[in-house]
């Protein structure tokens, strides 16, 4: 059983960090910063992004992202998700974790790296009304959509399976609006009510669309190229992600809420994975080392 647990732990760490020890090369940069960062210990962002529900939130965010045909076109035309799905996942995690736990300079640098990649992502797509439209990854509407579905997914999954959020949902949405601004999002939602309204408005305006690209991506997300030993855990978390999506959007996705107790089983899996992976992340540990060093150097109040 110990060998099996060690194997699962190694596979999980490699999947989500690109390293079997769970310490990718860029974590050292988090340790070497010069200030607390945009958030810090006790923040809502540290609590949400350091929790196990992020594993389900990532699936939910990807499912929701497919509903905007412009965003879907960018993924279809430019993403490496089929050829190197874990590499794309690792890149997204690098940005999320760096902005959350890094100092302000590192967070700004990582966000500018993402923005530079967006500069070359462009093309055309057919919108929900059948009209061909141009798209750019840095288009204000697409940036806003991706930020909204990301924030909604991580908040919703934390509310479903995580601990209480310091300051509540409004605090998390308000804090993470800074991350949106760093990648060019104009006037991101700053409360839970604003977030829900922003997401709903895309549906009211007839922007969201279900087509063959959505179907293709959903099928891929159902059966990604993970190791066989991880698939039972993943299937449960995929079911949990689907169950957590509000019915309004689940209908557009063409997904039904699982008949089995997906919420409960996902919670069990997340608790088990937390036991396997340990109580804290290497990124949070690196951030705490940085903050302790800065306090020892007299650069921060004790």
pLDDT digits (tens, 9 = 90+) for 105-131: 999 999 998 877 767 788 998 999 999
Report the DSSP pairing between strands 122-126 and 132-136.
Answer: antiparallel
Q: Give residue 140's Cα distance to chain centre.
A: 19
How far is the C-alpha of 290 from the C-alpha of 94, rounded, in Å?
18
Q: Given CA atoms 85, 87, 90, 96 in this order, what sign does their dihedral have?
A: negative
Q: Is 228 domain-assigned?
A: yes
Tens of pLDDT, residue by residue over 162-178, are 999 999 999 999 999 99
Give pLDDT tens digits for 178-225: 999 999 999 999 999 999 999 999 999 999 999 998 999 899 889 888
Looking at residue 135, the DSSP 8-state letter turns out to be E
Burial 144-179 (b: 16+ CB within 10 A, else e): bbbbbbbbbbbbbbbbbbbeebbeebbbbbbbbbbb
Residue owning tokens 């992502």: 121
Q: What is the pTM of this model?
A: 0.90
286, part of any domain: no
Report how far residue 108's alpha carbon sits from residue 290's, in angstroms, rounded to the nearest whole number: 17
In a domain, 295, yes or no: no
Residue 288 within any structural domain of the chain: no
Whether residue 237 lies inside any domain: the answer is: yes
State the average pLDDT over residues 265-288. 85
Q: What pLDDT, on the 0 to 100 scale, is given for residue 6?
A: 47
Structural domain boundaries, residue 62: 2-279
Q: How far apart are CA 262 and CA 143, in angstroms?
A: 31
Residue 104 lies in a domain: yes
**Is the pLDDT at 264 greater than 80, yes or no?**
yes
Taking the alpha carbons at both ends of the chain, their separation in whole angstroms is 44
Asked whether residue 93 is assigned to any structural domain, the reply reads: yes
Answer whether residue 90 shows pLDDT above 80. Answer: no
Tokens 């797509």 sit at which residue? Answer: 125
159 located within any domain: yes
Domain count for the chain, please give it. Answer: 1
Question: What is the rounded CA–CA span in Å between residue 57 and residue 240?
Answer: 9
Compare 116 and 264 and report the one with higher pLDDT. 264
């Amino acid at each position: 059983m110990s060998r099996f647990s060690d194997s699962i732990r190694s596979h999980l760490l490699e999947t989500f960090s690109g390293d079997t020890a769970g310490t990718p090369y860029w974590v050292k940069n988090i340790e070497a910063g010069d200030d607390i960062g945009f958030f810090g210990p006790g923040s809502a962002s540290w609590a949400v992004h350091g929790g196990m529900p992020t594993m389900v939130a990532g699936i939910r965010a990807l499912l929701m992202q497919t509903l905007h045909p412009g965003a879907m076109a960018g993924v279809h035309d430019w993403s490496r998700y089929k050829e190197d799905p874990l590499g794309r996942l690792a890149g997204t995690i690098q940005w999320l974790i760096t902005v959350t736990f890094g100092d302000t300079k590192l967070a700004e640098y990582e966000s500018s790296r993402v923005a530079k990649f967006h500069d070359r992502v462009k093309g055309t797509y057919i919108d929900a009304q059948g009209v061909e439209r141009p798209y750019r990854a840095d288009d204000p509407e697409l940036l806003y959509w991706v930020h909204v579905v990301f924030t909604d997914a991580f908040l919703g999954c934390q509310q479903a399976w995580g601990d209480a959020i310091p300051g509540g949902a409004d605090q998390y949405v308000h804090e993470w609006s800074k991350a949106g601004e760093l990648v060019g999002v104009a006037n991101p939602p700053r409360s839970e009510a604003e977030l829900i309204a922003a997401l709903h408005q895309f549906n009211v305006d007839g922007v969201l669309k279900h087509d063959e690209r959505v179907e293709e991506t959903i099928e891929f997300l159902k059966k990604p190229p993970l190791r066989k030993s991880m698939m039972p855990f993943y299937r449960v978390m995929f079911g949990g992600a689907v169950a957590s999506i509000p019915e309004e959007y689940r209908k557009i996705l063409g997904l039904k809420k699982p008949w089995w107790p997906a919420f409960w089983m996902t919670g069990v899996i997340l608790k088990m994975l937390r036991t396997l992976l340990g109580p804290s992340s290497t990124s949070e540990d690196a951030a705490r080392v940085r903050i302790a060093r800065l306090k020892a150097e007299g650069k921060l109040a004790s």
